[in-house]
């Protein structure tokens, strides 16, 4: 049984990085220390064959590769083993330690007299590019003597009891007061310990991101400014700058404040033959917000140096990053990885996050940039970060092969009784490497089997199983179904179906009609090869009603079989004979045999097509499959492919003619002379113009992800849908409940709205109105629920609650139009939530509709507040870090003056706009509330400030509605995800106790148990 306290045992992986040659990766491994109420963070290394802990102190979260063999990491103290002096601890100092990747003890490296945000090594010469923040009142503090610095810092501390503020924002969630904080770039020489400001003066801006080119000669960065008419107001739009790292010069590139400039990078284009062009461009991931506001999805732009303008490359919407929610993802998340001439990018699609590779193709004549993309990872779950190693995937795969043995053949690819090399990592089989596949018998149920004995007999031909759904029965004619089945027999009665004259159901064994046959005489002979069934109607076999079907098939007209009207059919379509097509091809299934060949399914070498086809041949030509076109090599077996295909899809066995810097070695054997014809150095291992000696792929793509109810682990990517789990940091054998998908159609625009239902482990189908339910609403609103592990939901399901969640309008992963609910909060999203709940209640009548609970955080907290003020159908609610009043949120949140106006579609704070903000506030409707409500907030939450909960608590109390306000001291908006471990547990205990109290009132023992945990 999953418990709240299991959270203490989870391990979190984050922040993967590689050394310059990509032969070694390092990442952070975090565990909670409950007694000390903190997280222990250590750096691990991974070379494709072994995982090794590198550090031991437990506070190493921020690190970088200094070179091939050394890692630098931040520490809070200069001497990690003795305390700093009090005076030194007040000065802005950032200390770095150095450790060799081969082991040994970490040693002090250097200190930088700044609050360093990020550090980049510059060409292994002991020099670094530094991004640091500074106080606008003391920009040159770092240039003063230590004594002068101490005096200034002491003075600031003594006067900190009164802060004088004249700009917004003046605080930020997770940071605290940021009044007068700005950022700048510096050079730092670790050998001489010299520090140099880049640029002529201290800038009045905050730098959002910095990106270096491959040669480390220049850097691109975006900054939001406090200047001009917005001198004291932070603007969401940014300006673009470039740094000449060789001459220490900053040049403004784009100063029009009309783009968010969310991210950017340098990348080399490839030509139309997908060879490296040597042309480096600056690419921006940005939105102008003109169509869908602050949450608008991004697009790719290229900076045009001739016009000093941003040019949109494509209309492709970038749904940037992983927004699949989880309460067990701790640590920083990586959203992109830039190589020499491609970009790997994490995107959210529907209920999952994917990893795609983007190439920027340049037309050498028109000088136009277009996109080419390739899916790298696409399966249910979430990608949190990615990295590549120059190590053959076969080496990694063999080193980390598992020992899982299944009792029967399964979709994993392993055979019954043999070791499973993929840990049963298919979507339908959940057994871990240390367990066994517990199917009832050797059956064909892999598609719908949870490997815990629960077979879905729609796909199972096992005997004597008792199904609640339609089944195909067995040869003994004894149907043990709880309800009517496709055979025509009634529940509990012998099977007397009339599939053939002997009244025995032999659908599975004797014919192929099981899927489309009701076994009562109505046979769809498209799927049937039986020779003795008597059809009630004329069928496609050629027999008439009442005739015996001999499949001689004398057709009334020409048919796809290839036979002519009135002639015997000797086709190979289904009968196993000879295909009399125009030419000798394997196109029978999708070929009209009149010369119109669908070459997607054809590997013919000499078919004459009437229409142009993907083989490359033209109408009337002989098809030689030489494939001189843009074909998808998945469908083409050409031996000399010059097409624009990804070499992961191409089986060409001759010369390597793929784009440069690609993973072609895995699928391309080059030629017999080992001559690589790539235009530049590529991942095959060969250098440009040198013989190709590779015989296997020397580059492996790995990800940190969440799949099949596992917490974060490292996976090796074999193809977009096949991942091999490499690590078992979270090997606890938890009794997880599998989220069951459920989809409804939105009444708003007829779009599909998807979600999940988690049933208690002891869920009884025969029970009626027996189970309480909790509706969980995600934050954002531009995030999404997926099939990943969610601790709070698993806890509640294991305590006997049905838990459901959905992705209403406003959620991520579906494009701008679906995500845009500006000005309509509480309308179509509310309808989606209520309609989804209705569908859950209809699908599972075992749920007691009189015992419903609702909860959510941030936007989910807003919707919880909206729900309790607009319906009385819930018996308990818990609103977390919520918005109750848009008016006060506008002035107190760190993003309020931007977000409140944007999301409510108002322009400013005029009287009319104030009226709109109030009408859109749940507090405006508080007199309708009757639902007992638990209110959870944190006093350091500057995103949805504590005052939002105070207002709600005061109003509910005045109205006599049962409620309780719980405030977590020194926690912020991230309480449920990265708060201190004791606070995270207590939060979940409080919510669970509240729902037990109101939804499982008879469970006195369990209520008392959680009351004691909550110190009630």
Q: Which range in 585-589, 698-702, 1007-1011 is most confidently predicted, on average pLDDT?
A: 1007-1011
* pLDDT > 90? residue 565: no
| SS3 letters across 775-807 | EEECCCCCCECCCCCCHHHHHHHHCCCEEEEEC
pLDDT of residue 760: 97
Picking from 380, 389, 1015, 258, the residue whose alpha carbon sits closest to that of residue 703 is 389
- Please determine, for residue 836, whether its predicted confidence score (pLDDT) is greater than 80: yes
pLDDT of 646 strictly over 90: no
665 vs 79: which has the higher pLDDT? 79
Dump the DSSP string for 29-83.
Answer: EEEEETTTTEEEEEEEEE-SS-EEE---SSB--SEEESSSSEEEEEES-SSTTSP
374 CB-side CA count, 13 A: 18
pLDDT score of 428 more than 60: no
β-sheet bridge partners, residue 177: 171
- The position carrying tokens 């900190």 is 160
What integer pLDDT is reported at residue 562 of this predicted model? 45
Q: 621 pLDDT exceeds 80?
A: no
Q: Which two tokens stand for residue 222?
A: 């975006």
Which phi and psi angles does 437 have, rounded to 5°? -75, 110
Q: Give the model's confidence band at 733: pLDDT under 50 very low, under 70 low, under 90 confident, else very high.
A: confident
- Helix, strand, coil percent content, the chain, rounded in steps of 5: 15, 25, 55
CA angle 40, 42, 44 (to 5 degrees): 150
pLDDT of residue 334: 82
Q: Is 199 exposed, middle or buried (0-12, 13-18, 19+ CB in 10 A)?
A: middle
Q: Please determine, for residue 758, whether its predicted confidence score (pLDDT) is greater than 50.
A: yes
pLDDT band at 151 (very low <50, low <70, confident <90, very high): very high
pLDDT band at 177 (very low <50, low <70, confident <90, very high): confident
579 pLDDT higher than 50:
no
In this prediction, residue 29 carries a pLDDT of 97
More confident call, 743 vs 554: 743
* pLDDT of the residue at 793: 98
CA distance 194 to 714: 40
Give the separation between CA 520 and CA 536, rounded to whole angstroms. 9
pLDDT, residue 79, reads: 72
CA distance 549 to 536: 11
CA distance 986 to 4: 9
pLDDT score, position 402: 66
The per-residue pLDDT for 228 is: 59
Helix axes 791-798, 981-999, angle to 10 degrees: 40
Tokens of residue 705, six digits:
């992800």
Average per-residue pLDDT for the chain: 78
Name the CA dihedral angle for 881, 887, 890, 892, rounded to a multiple of 10 degrees. -60
Nearest C-alpha neighbor of 41 from the set 21, 81, 12: 12
Kindly tell me if the per-residue pLDDT of 438 is higher than 60: no
% of the chain residues with pLDDT over 70: 69
Q: Given a cut of 60, is residue 9 above it in pLDDT?
A: yes
* Nearest Cα to Cα of residue 514 among 494, 550, 487, 482: 487
Q: With beta carbons less than 8 A apart as the criterion, state whether 90 and 154 touch.
A: yes
976/232: higher pLDDT: 976
pLDDT at 996 over 80: yes
**Does the pLDDT value for residue 99 go beyond 70?**
yes
CB 695 within 8 A of CB 376: no
Q: Please tell me the distance from the alpha carbon of residue 163 to that of residue 765, in angstroms, as a whole number.
A: 62
- Looking at residue 623, its pLDDT comes to 43
**Burial call 592-620: b when 16+ CB within 10 Å, e when fewer:** bbebebbbeebbbeebebeeebbbbbeee
Average pLDDT for 954-970? 98
Q: Are 752 and 832 in contact (CB under 8 A)?
A: no
Residue 82, pLDDT score: 54
pLDDT average, residue stretch 454-477 = 37
pLDDT for 89: 63
Average pLDDT over residues 688-694: 39
Looking at 75-84, 354-363, 719-728, which range is the least confident one?
75-84
Q: Is the pLDDT of residue 439 over 90?
A: no
| pLDDT value for 524 | 42
pLDDT at residue 994, rounded to an integer? 98
pLDDT(837) > 60? yes
DSSP element (H, E) containing 262: none
| pLDDT tens, position by position, 191-201 | 999 999 999 88
Mean local confidence (pLDDT), 462-476: 37
Q: Is residue 887 a contact partner of residue 917, using CB atoms and an 8 Å limit?
A: yes
Output 830 or 236, whichever has higher pLDDT.
830
Q: Greater confidence, 174 or 629?
A: 174
How sure is the predictor about 827, in pLDDT bands with cuts at 50, 70 and 90?
A: very high
pLDDT digits (tens, 9 = 90+) for 308-353: 999 999 999 999 999 999 999 999 888 899 999 999 999 999 999 9
Higher pLDDT, 494 or 903: 903
Question: What is the arithmetic mean of pLDDT over 180-195?
Answer: 95
Q: What is the mean pLDDT of residues 376-385?
A: 96
Tokens of 777: 């609403």
Report the alpha-carbon distance of residue 561 to residue 574 in Å, rounded.
9
If you average pLDDT over each of 145-149, 179-183, 664-668, 902-906, which comes out highest? 902-906
- Give the pLDDT of residue 564: 47
Question: Mean pLDDT over residues 810-838, rounded?
Answer: 98
Per the CB < 8 A criterion, the answer to whether 324 and 299 are in contact is no
Look at residue 413 and tell me whether its pLDDT is greater than 50.
Answer: no
């Amino acid at each position: 049984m999953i418990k709240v306290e299991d959270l203490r045992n989870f391990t979190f992986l984050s922040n993967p990085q590689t050394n310059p040659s990509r032969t070694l990766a390092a990442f952070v491994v975090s565990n909670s220390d409950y007694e000390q109420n903190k997280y222990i963070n250590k750096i691990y290394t991974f070379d494709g064959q072994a995982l090794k802990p590198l550090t031991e102190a437990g506070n190493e979260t921020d690190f970088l590769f200094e070179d091939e063999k050394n890692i630098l990491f931040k520490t809070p103290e200069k001497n990690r083993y003795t305390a700093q002096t009090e005076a030194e601890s007040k000065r802005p100092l950032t200390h770095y330690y150095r450790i060799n990747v081969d082991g040994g003890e970490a040693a002090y490296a250097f200190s930088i007299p700044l609050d360093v945000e990020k550090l980049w090594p510059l060409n292994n010469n002991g020099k670094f590019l530094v991004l640091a923040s500074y106080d606008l009142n003391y920009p040159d503090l770092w240039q003063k003597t230590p004594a002068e610095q101490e005096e200034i810092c002491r003075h600031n501390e003594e006067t900190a009891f009164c802060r004088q503020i004249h700009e917004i924002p003046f605080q930020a969630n997770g940071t605290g007061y940021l009044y007068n904080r700005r950022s700048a770039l510096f050079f730092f020489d670790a050998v001489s310990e010299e520090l140099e400001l880049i640029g002529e003066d201290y800038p009045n801006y905050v730098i959002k991101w910095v990106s270096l080119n491959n040669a480390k000669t220049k850097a691109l960065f975006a900054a939001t400014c406090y200047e001009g008419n917005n001198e004291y107001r932070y603007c969401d739009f940014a300006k673009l700058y470039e740094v000449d790292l060789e001459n220490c010069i900053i040049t403004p590139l784009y100063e029009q404040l009309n783009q968010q400039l969310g991210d950017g990078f340098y990348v080399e284009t490839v030509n139309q033959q997908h060879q490296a062009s040597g042309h480096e461009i600056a690419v921006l991931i940005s939105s102008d917000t003109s169509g869908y506001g602050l949450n608008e999805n991004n697009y790719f732009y290229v900076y045009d140096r001739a016009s000093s303008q941003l040019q949109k490359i494509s209309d492709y919407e970038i749904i940037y990053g992983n927004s699949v929610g989880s309460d067990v993802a701790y640590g920083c998340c990586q959203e992109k990885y830039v190589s020499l001439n491609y970009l790997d990018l994490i995107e959210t699609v529907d209920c999952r996050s994917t990893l795609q590779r983007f190439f920027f193709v340049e037309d050498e004549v028109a000088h136009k940039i277009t996109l080419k993309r390739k899916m790298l990872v696409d399966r249910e779950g979430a990608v949190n970060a990615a990295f590549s190693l120059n190590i053959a995937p076969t080496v990694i795969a063999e080193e980390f092969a598992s020992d899982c043995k299944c009792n029967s053949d399964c979709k994993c690819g392993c055979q019954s009784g043999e070791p499973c090399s993929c840990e049963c990592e298919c979507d339908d089989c959940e057994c871990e490497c240390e367990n066994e596949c517990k199917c009832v018998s050797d059956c064909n149920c892999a598609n719908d089997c949870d490997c815990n004995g629960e077979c879905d007999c729609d796909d199972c031909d096992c005997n004597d199983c008792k199904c609640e759904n339609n089944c195909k029965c067995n040869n003994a004619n004894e149907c043990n179904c709880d309800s009517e089945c496709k055979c025509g027999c009634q529940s509990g009665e012998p099977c007397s179906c009339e599939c053939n004259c002997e009244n025995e159901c032999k659908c599975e064994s004797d014919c192929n009609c099981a899927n489309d046959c009701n076994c009562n005489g109505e046979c769809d002979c498209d799927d049937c090869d039986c020779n003795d069934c008597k059809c009630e109607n004329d069928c496609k076999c050629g027999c008439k009603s009442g005739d015996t079907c001999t499949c001689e098939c004398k057709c009334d007209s020409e048919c796809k079989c290839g036979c002519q009207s009135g002639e015997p059919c000797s086709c190979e379509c289904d009968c196993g004979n000879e295909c009399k097509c125009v030419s000798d091809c394997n196109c029978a299934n999708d070929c009209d045999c009149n010369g119109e060949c669908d070459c997607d399914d054809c590997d013919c070498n000499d078919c004459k097509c009437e229409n142009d086809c993907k083989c490359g041949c033209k109408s009337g030509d002989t098809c030689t499959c030489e494939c001189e076109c843009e074909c998808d090599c998945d469908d083409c077996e050409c031996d000399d492919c010059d097409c624009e295909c990804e070499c992961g899809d191409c089986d060409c066995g001759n010369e390597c003619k793929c784009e440069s810097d690609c993973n072609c070695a895995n699928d391309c054997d080059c030629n017999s002379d080992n001559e690589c014809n790539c235009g530049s150095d590529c991942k095959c291992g060969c250098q440009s113009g040198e013989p190709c000696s590779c015989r296997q792929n020397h580059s492996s793509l790995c990800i940190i992800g969440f799949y099949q109810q596992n917490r974060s682990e490292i996976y090796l990517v074999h193809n977009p849908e096949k991942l091999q789990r490499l690590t078992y940091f979270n090997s606890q054998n938890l009794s997880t409940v599998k989220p069951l998908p459920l989809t409804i159609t939105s009444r708003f625009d007829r779009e599909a709205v998807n979600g999940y239902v988690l049933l208690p482990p002891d869920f009884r189908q025969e029970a009626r109105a027996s189970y309480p339910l909790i509706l969980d609403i995600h934050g954002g609103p531009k995030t999404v629920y997926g099939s990943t592990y969610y601790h709070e939901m698993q806890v509640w399901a294991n305590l006997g609650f049905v838990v459901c969640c959905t992705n209403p309008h406003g959620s991520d992963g579906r494009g701008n139009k679906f995500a845009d609910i500006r000005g309509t909060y509480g309308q179509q999203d509310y309808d989606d939530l209520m309609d989804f709940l209705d569908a859950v209640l209809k699908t599972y009548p075992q749920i007691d509709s009189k015992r419903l609970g609702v909860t959510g955080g941030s936007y989910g907290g807003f919707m919880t507040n909206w729900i309790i003020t607009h319906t009385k159908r819930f018996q308990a609610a818990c609103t977390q870090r919520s918005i109750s009043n848009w008016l006060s949120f506008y002035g107190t949140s760190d993003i309020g003056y931007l977000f409140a106006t944007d999301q409510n579609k108002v322009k400013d704070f005029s009287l009319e706009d104030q009226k709109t903000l109030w009408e859109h506030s749940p507090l405006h409707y508080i007199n309708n509330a009757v639902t007992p409500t638990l209110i959870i907030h944190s006093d350091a939450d500057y995103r949805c400030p504590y005052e939002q909960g105070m207002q709600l608590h005061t109003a509910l109390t005045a109205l006599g509605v049962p409620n309780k306000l719980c405030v977590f001291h020194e926690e912020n908006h991230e309480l449920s995800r990265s708060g201190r471990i004791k606070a995270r547990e207590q939060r979940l205990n409080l919510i669970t106790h509240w729902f037990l109290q109101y939804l499982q009132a008879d469970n006195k023992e369990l209520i008392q148990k959680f009351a004691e945990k909550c110190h009630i």
